[in-house]
Amino acid sequence: MKLENIKTVGVVGAGVMGLGIAQVCAMAGYKTLLFDLNGEAVTQAFGQIKKNLEKGIEKGKVTEAQKEKALGNLQKVEELRNLQADLIIEAVVEKLEVKHQLFQQLEENNSPDTILASNTSSIPITRIGAKLNRPGQLVGVHFFNPAHIMKLVEIVAGAATTTDVLTTAKAFAEKLGKTAIVARDAPGFIVNRVARHFYVESLLLAEEGVADVETTDKLLEVSGFKMGPFRLMDLIGVETNFSVTTSMYEAFWQAQKFRPSRIQQQKVDAGFWGRKSGKGFYNYE
């Protein structure tokens, strides 16, 4: 599949990442199909995309014509079996078994030429593609949150990913207006491997009582970070961040430097997932 042959893009998962990916694809002129097991989540995602575009208009970064064109490119898909596209990007939970099942279904329902892409932030692409009949068609295309704003995209080839698929995925990301870098297939790739300690060490400070959440955030923000680790975890989703840390901890054979935090585990168990739930490390209610 060459870049010029990609006309329709599918996105699986209508959460924060999925809707952002769908937005940038639609703005780039692609017919964009969005699916989620929760149909209402897709409706809500379309509403949020519209708000994002209107905010872009207010800032002078989006025109009314671009907004209308992007919204016109979006289409809801009711059943996964009906999701057929030239390139499909998954943005679902960081659980290997879920991704295995999803990609097996997508592979069965789509053309042998369809490129299957994972937005995983921590699971090696080779492991995700291990149960596919055509693992060469699978590639990592990892966006950063919020996907409609952040410029960086990591492109990752698994052991079986073909050179053509990797090249097309990189060109696709660049057509979306992103800065695409090719990373090796290792847990966390580049950014999340480095950034994990931004979160893990900050959580350790809280566990040991060295500094509270607000103090750590303020110190890092005045040091040049746009957002402290706890505010950022609330934005990303505390449960999502915890899932990525857990995945990397297991992938690196329980290396202590990646150990998940008991404080974060407690937040997840309590349903305090950050902004999306109204409460995380901070209260948004």
- Is 100 an active-site residue? no
What is the C-alpha separation between 171 and 166, in angstroms, rounded? 9
The first and second tokens of residue 82, run together, are 């009906």
Annotated catalytic residue, options 100, 142, 148, 197:
142
What is the C-alpha separation between 202 and 214, in angstroms, rounded? 11
Helical segments of the chain, H only:
16-27, 39-58, 64-73, 96-109, 125-128, 163-175, 191-207, 213-222, 229-236, 238-251, 262-270
Tell me the CA distances in angstroms from 256 to 185, 194, 202, 241, one per residue in order.
21, 15, 15, 17
What is the C-alpha separation between 227 and 136, in angstroms, rounded? 38
What is the C-alpha separation between 120 and 1, in angstroms, rounded? 22
Neighbours of 129 (CB within 10 A): 26
Contact between 1 and 165 under an 8 Å Cβ cutoff? The reply is yes
Q: 3-class DSSP state for residue 50?
A: helix
Strands 74-76, 138-143: pairing is: unpaired
What is the C-alpha separation between 125 and 115, in angstroms, rounded? 13
Single-letter code of the amino acid located at 260: P
Residues marked as catalytic:
142
